[in-house]
C-alpha cells in the first residue's frame, strides 16, 4: 500500500498482516508514516496504490463511514465527539436505534449503558460529553467503535493526555477487547508502553516498514535503532554540571484554590523537576510564575531582584520563558510561518516597523542551531512535525534571552529522536547557567534529567528529592500520599 501527496511520499510499499485478537503497535519518528497508514486502513484517506483486505475480502475505498460498517474504527488523538450532545447520542450518531424513522431514546440509553460497561465507564448516558474529563471521553470513543461492532480498532497515541493510572486502566480495556478477538492497532511514542501492551511491533521509517517483530524478540535499543536508522547513545543526555547561585526564588505563592503557600528555588545550571498527579498544581504553578494566571499572594525574585509579574509581558521582560504543554493551542500561531513564530515574543523593529530581513536572519540562525527541519522558514508551523514545532517554541524563548525556562511536558507527542534532541537542549541550557524547570508526567524523564525533583499534591509541595534519593516509588508515594515511602 502507498500514499503520495504533492511532492511527498508518505507511505511506500507497505505490506502487513494483522491477526485477530492481537495488539499490533506501530512505532517510528514523527513523519514516518504511521498515522497516514492508519488513515488508509480506516479509509480516512484514499490510497495511491495497494489495497486493504478484511477477512480475506478486498475493501473498496468509500470513506470512513463505509470502513466502520466493515468493522474498522479509528480513535484519533483529537476526539471526534459532539461536545454538546449526550453520551448516548454520541455513541449512536448516524445509526440510532428505532423504527419507521423514529429514534427510540430509551433503547439508545439501554444500549449505551451496555457499551459503557464494556469499557468500564460508569456515567449517565444523558450527560453532556463536554462535561466529562479526557479519559472518559476517550472511553466513549472506544465505545463508539464497539457500537458498530468493530473488529479492528485503531488507537493513535491514546495515552498522550492520560495519567499513569488512567493509562493502566486503558491497557486493561485493550486486553479485554483482544480477548474478544478484536485486533488493536496502537500508535505510540512511549517505549515502555510498547513492551507493556504490545504483541507485535512494526517500526516505520521514511514511509516504509523498517521491521516487524514480536515484542518479546526485540529490546529497547534495537527498537530505537530501527526507528531512527542510527544508534542513539543516550535518550536522556545529561552532562556533569556545577550548580551555582540561586537564580529564581519563589516564596509563599498562592492562587485561589489552586496553589497554597508554595516556596522553592532554582539555581544556575540546575534542572529542577516537578512531579505530581494530574490536578496537583504543576502547570498552574508555572503559569502563575509566568503571569498567565497571576498569583494572589507570595513573591517571585530573579537573581535577588524582586519582580512584579502581572502578565506574561512582565515575565518575558524579566527573563522568564514558558514552553506550554499545549503547543498547538497556546504555544504557536499555527497559520503563521516559522520565522514569525520565533520572533513574536521579541519583534525586530526598525523605524517603527517590523524588520523582515532581521526576522528572516533570526529564524535561519535558529533553524541551523536547533536543527529545525523545514525547507524554508516562511513555512506555516502547522505543516511541521511535533518535534520541530517544539523546537520553534524553544527558539522563541531563546531569542528573548530568557534566563529561567519552564518546560511543561516537552516530550509529549514526540518521537524518541526528537525527544533526545530536546533533552540535549535542556542540558545545554543548564550548562550555560540558566535555571531550568522540567514538568513531566513521565517519570523516566524526570529521574534521568533532573538534579532535584519537587513533588506536588493538592496544590502544595508534598516533598523534595535530591538526585541520590531518586526512585519511582518515592515520587509516587509523595504524589499519592501513600505511607511508608516518603523521603
Above 80 in pLDDT, residue 128? yes
Closest CA to 415 of 168, 132, 226, 198: 226
* CA–CA separation, 93 and 15 (whole Å): 33
358-382 pLDDT, tens digit each: 889 988 988 888 888 888 888 888 8
The Cα 396–Cα 393 span in angstroms is 5
Residues 140, 81 contacting (CB under 8 angstroms): yes
| pLDDT at residue 187 greater than cutoff 70 | yes
CA 156 to chain centre: 11
What pLDDT score was predicted for residue 232?
Answer: 57
Predicted confidence (pLDDT) at residue 430 exceeds the cutoff of 90: yes
Instruction: Give per-residue pLDDT as tens, 189-222.
Output: 788 889 999 999 999 988 899 999 999 999 888 8
In the chain, domain spans = 3-228, 246-480
Give residue 421's pLDDT band: very low, low, confident or very high (50, 70, 90).
confident
Show the cell assigned to 341. Answer: 513564530
CATH number of the domain located at residue range(s) 246-480 in this protein: 3.40.50.300
Given this model, what pLDDT does residue 485 score? Answer: 46
Indicate if the pLDDT at residue 138 is higher than 70.
Answer: yes
The architecture of the domain spanning 3-228 is 3-Layer(aba) Sandwich (3.40)
Interior angle at CA 291, CA 287 and CA 292, nearest 5: 55
**Cell reading at 269:** 545550571
Instruction: Please provide residue 299's backbone torsions phi and psi, each rounded to the nearest 5 degrees.
Output: -135, 155
Percent of the chain at pLDDT exceeding 90: 41
Cα separation, 426 vs 449, whole angstroms: 9
Would the CATH topology of 3-228 be identical to that of 246-480? yes
Confidence (pLDDT) at 183: 94
Is the pTM for the entire model greater than 0.95? Answer: no
Amino acid at each position: 500500500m502507498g500514499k503520495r501527496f504533492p511532492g511527498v511520499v508518505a507511505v511506500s510499499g507497505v505490506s502487513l498482516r494483522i491477526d485477530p485478537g492481537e495488539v499490533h503497535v506501530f512505532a517510528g519518528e514523527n513523519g514516518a508514516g504511521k498515522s497516514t497508514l492508519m488513515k488508509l486502513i480506516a479509509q480516512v484517506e484514499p490510497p495511491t496504490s495497494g489495497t486493504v483486505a478484511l477477512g480475506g475480502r478486498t475493501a473498496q475505498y468509500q470513506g470512513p463511514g463505509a470502513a466502520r460498517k466493515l468493522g474498522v474504527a479509528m480513535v484519533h488523538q483529537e476526539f471526534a465527539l459532539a461536545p454538546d450532545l449526550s453520551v448516548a447520542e454520541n455513541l449512536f450518531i448516524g445509526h440510532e436505534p428505532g423504527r419507521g424513522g423514529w429514534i427510540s431514546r430509551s433503547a439508545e440509553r439501554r444500549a449505551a449503558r451496555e457499551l459503557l460497561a464494556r469499557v468500564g465507564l460508569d456515567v449517565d448516558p444523558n450527560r453532556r460529553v463536554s462535561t466529562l474529563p479526557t479519559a472518559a471521553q476517550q472511553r466513549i470513543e472506544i465505545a463508539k467503535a464497539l457500537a458498530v461492532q468493530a473488529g479492528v480498532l485503531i488507537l493513535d497515541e491514546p495515552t498522550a493526555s492520560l495519567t499513569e493510572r488512567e493509562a493502566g486502566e486503558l491497557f486493561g480495556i485493550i486486553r479485554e477487547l483482544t480477548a474478544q478477538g478484536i485486533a488493536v492497532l496502537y500508535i505510540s511514542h512511549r517505549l515502555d508502553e510498547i513492551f507493556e501492551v504490545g504483541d507485535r511491533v512494526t517500526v516505520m521509517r521514511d514511509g516504509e516498514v523498517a521491521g516487524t517483530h514480536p515484542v518479546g524478540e526485540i529490546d529497547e535499543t534495537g527498537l530505537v535503532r530501527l526507528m531512527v536508522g542510527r544508534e542513539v547513545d543516550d535518550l536522556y543526555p545529561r552532562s556533569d554540571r556545577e550548580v551555582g547561585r540561586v537564580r529564581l526564588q519563589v516564596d509563599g505563592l498562592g492562587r485561589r484554590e489552586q496553589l497554597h503557600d508554595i516556596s522553592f528555588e532554582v539555581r544556575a545550571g540546575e534542572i529542577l523537576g516537578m512531579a505530581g498527579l494530574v490536578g496537583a498544581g504543576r502547570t498552574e504553578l508555572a503559569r502563575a510564575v509566568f503571569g498567565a494566571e497571576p498569583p494572589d499572594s507570595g513573591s517571585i525574585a530573579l537573581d535577588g531582584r524582586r519582580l512584579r509579574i502581572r502578565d506574561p509581558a512582565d515575565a518575558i521582560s524579566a527573563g522568564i520563558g514558558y514552553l506550554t504543554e499545549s503547543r498547538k493551542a497556546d504555544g504557536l500561531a499555527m497559520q503563521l510561518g516559522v520565522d514569525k513564530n520565533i520572533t513574536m515574543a521579541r519583534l525586530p523593529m526598525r523605524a517603527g516597523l517590523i524588520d523582515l530581513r532581521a526576522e528572516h536572519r533570526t529564524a535561519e540562525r535558529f533553524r541551523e542551531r536547533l536543527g529545525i527541519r523545514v525547507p524554508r522558514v516562511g513555512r506555516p508551523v502547522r505543516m511541521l512535525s511535533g518535534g520541530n514545532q517544539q523546537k520553534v517554541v524553544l527558539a522563541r524563548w531563546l531569542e528573548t534571552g530568557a534566563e529561567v525556562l519552564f518546560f511543561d511536558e516537552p516530550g509529549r507527542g514526540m518521537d524518541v529522536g526528537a525527544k533526545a534532541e530536546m533533552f540535549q537542549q535542556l542540558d545545554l541550557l543548564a550548562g550555560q547557567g540558566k535555571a531550568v524547570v522540567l514538568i513531566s508526567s513521565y517519570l523516566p524523564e524526570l529521574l534521568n534529567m533532573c538534579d532535584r525533583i519537587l513533588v506536588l499534591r493538592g496544590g502544595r509541595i508534598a516533598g523534595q528529592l535530591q538526585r541520590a534519593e531518586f526512585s519511582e516509588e518515592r515520587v509516587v508515594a509523595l504524589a499519592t500520599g501513600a505511607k511508608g515511602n516518603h523521603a
